Amino acid sequence: MPNRRRCLSALLCLPFAACAQAPSAGDIPAPDTPTALPPPVAQALQQANLPPGALALLVQEVGAAAARVSFNAGAAMNPASVMKLLTTAAALDLLGPAWSWRTPVWIQGGVERGGRLRGSVLIQGRGDPRLTQERLMLLMRRLRAWGIDEIEGDFVLDRGAFEPAQGAPGDFDGEPLRPYNVLPDALLLNLRALHLGFMPDAARGVARVELQPPLDGVRLDAAVPLSGGACGDWRGALKADFADPARLRFAGRYPLACGERQWPLAYADPAAFDARLLRALWEEAGGKLRGGVREGVAPGGTAPSFELVSPPLAEVVRDINKFSNNVMAQQLFLTLALERLGQGTAAGARAVVSGWLRQRLGTAAEGAVIDNGSGLSRQTRLNAALLGRLLQAAWAAPWMPEFMASLPIQGLDGTLRRWAGEPGRAHLKSGSLRDVAAVAGYVLGRSGRRHVLVATVNHPQAAAARPVLDAALQWALED
């Protein structure tokens, strides 16, 4: 067994398995000198009216010393959501696939006969991104199992494990109601999001509307009239009015042709979300709350009454990569700082991930600019050569099966479910922002050889680059 103190840096502490089994930076194959683009890719680039400098492409067989294609592979590019590969790889290596978040709960005060708690319930957030409605209901049932029917005090929430989020949800693109813009929080309940469900009832000529999760004091139109014609822009047709967070209205109609649909939303009043949710769920569980919901600090030196334990990291990483969940990626990013440095700060998370990257890839990590963990950024820069070496290192790591299984499968699931081509031969993380289109992951060629593929387009017309990415994928598939 190697000495852990000798093989680890002072800042970071990699698991022994990673230190013992994963290749060093010198063992990871590096791309060769730049080569010409494959003709199908060059043709697709020309047809999309994109200049060659807009594309970075790397294709390299897993474990091979030389790349088949290395075009602009050293150019610093915005990777968009491909950044999640770095965040999740670092987490799997530093924390391990079986690691879980723990959310401590303290029952403060005694429970009297008749089920009255003469005190409060304190919940301490530790960054768990999976505190969903279902798991919160388990918390409520756990409280009922303790014999609590009525809480005389409050629900007290401790968010101190993460620094307060900077800015507002709409700062990135002016879309504060988009769930991907929810800000991270040490105690993030149900991702601060809600779902509106629309269920057509043709016999009555209406679509029934359901709100999940329930929110105390929030009313919505229980039904909207149906309309004929194609589904089309059904959200626009509803003429929704969400200006009042306590009253969700619809002035339009819902197309019958749409069938059942879900509309995910970030709640318009994030500061009030937790109180509305906890009150509603506690009441749904049959409990009564005499007090309110407020901020507080967990008691030091006192063991919690119980803990909520999240699913293992390997399962959470699947959610992050398969569905490109920005909020969960941010929670994981800050959790790395919390676990390694004792506080979940953005600066700390950048230091942890940057340090891990340098330790794993050596000089190949030079020039990387890490802004956040999700890729929802205009500042992040990673080159294709670095991403290629990251994927090579991940392939050789003990946690490779969990990492690869987290990637969307071409034509089958996640963000690649609608991608054309032969289903199942590529596991790729896609990314898109204004001016950015990218994919990176693994492609199983028809020869049976597996390849690392990284393709990134940075250009004002990047939205037209999908055929370029398709051509690169198909070329790798054909060996």
Q: CB of 279 within 8 A of CB of 216?
A: yes
Q: Is residue 2's pLDDT more than 50?
A: no
Structural element, H or E, at residue 227: strand 223-227
CATH 3.50.80.20 residue ranges of the chain are 101-310
Structural element, H or E, at residue 288: strand 288-289
CATH 3.40.710.10 residue ranges of the chain are 4-98+312-477
Closest by CA position to 245, among listed 144, 176, 159: 176
In sequence order, what E strands does 41-153 have?
55-61, 69-71, 102-108, 116-117, 120-124, 150-151
Structure tokens at 89: 């790889």
User: pTM for this one?
Assistant: 0.91
Sort 243 into a burial class: Cβ within 10 Å, 0-12 / 13-18 / 19+: exposed
pLDDT, one tens digit per residue, over 400-453 is: 999 999 999 999 999 999 998 889 999 999 999 999 999 999 999 999 999 999
pLDDT, one tens digit per residue, over 230-266 is: 999 999 999 999 999 999 999 999 999 999 999 999 9
Structure tokens at 227: 């309309």
Helical pair 83-95 and 346-361, crossing angle rounded to 10 deg: 80
Number of CB atoms found within 10 A of residue 236's CB: 9
Extract long-range pairs of 269-276: CB within 8 Å, 24+ residues apart: 269/245, 270/169, 270/182, 270/183, 270/192, 272/245, 273/189, 273/192, 273/215, 274/157, 274/187, 274/189, 275/155, 275/216, 276/215, 276/216, 276/217, 276/218
pLDDT of residue 421: 83
What is the DSSP annotation of 65-97? SS-SEEESTTS-B--GGGHHHHHHHHHHHHH-T
pLDDT, one tens digit per residue, over 58-82 is: 999 999 999 999 999 999 999 999 9
User: Does the domain made of 4-98+312-477 have the CATH classification 3.40.710.10?
Assistant: yes
CA–CA separation, 202 vs 46, rounded Å?
A: 49
Residues in the chain: 479
Q: Is residue 9's pLDDT more than 80?
A: no
Quote the CATH superfamily of domain 101-310: D-Ala-D-Ala carboxypeptidase C, peptidase S13 (3.50.80.20)
CA–CA separation, 66 vs 78, rounded Å?
A: 24
Q: CB of 454 within 8 A of CB of 430?
A: no
CA–CA separation, 213 vs 230, rounded Å?
A: 29
Number of CB atoms found within 10 A of residue 397's CB: 20
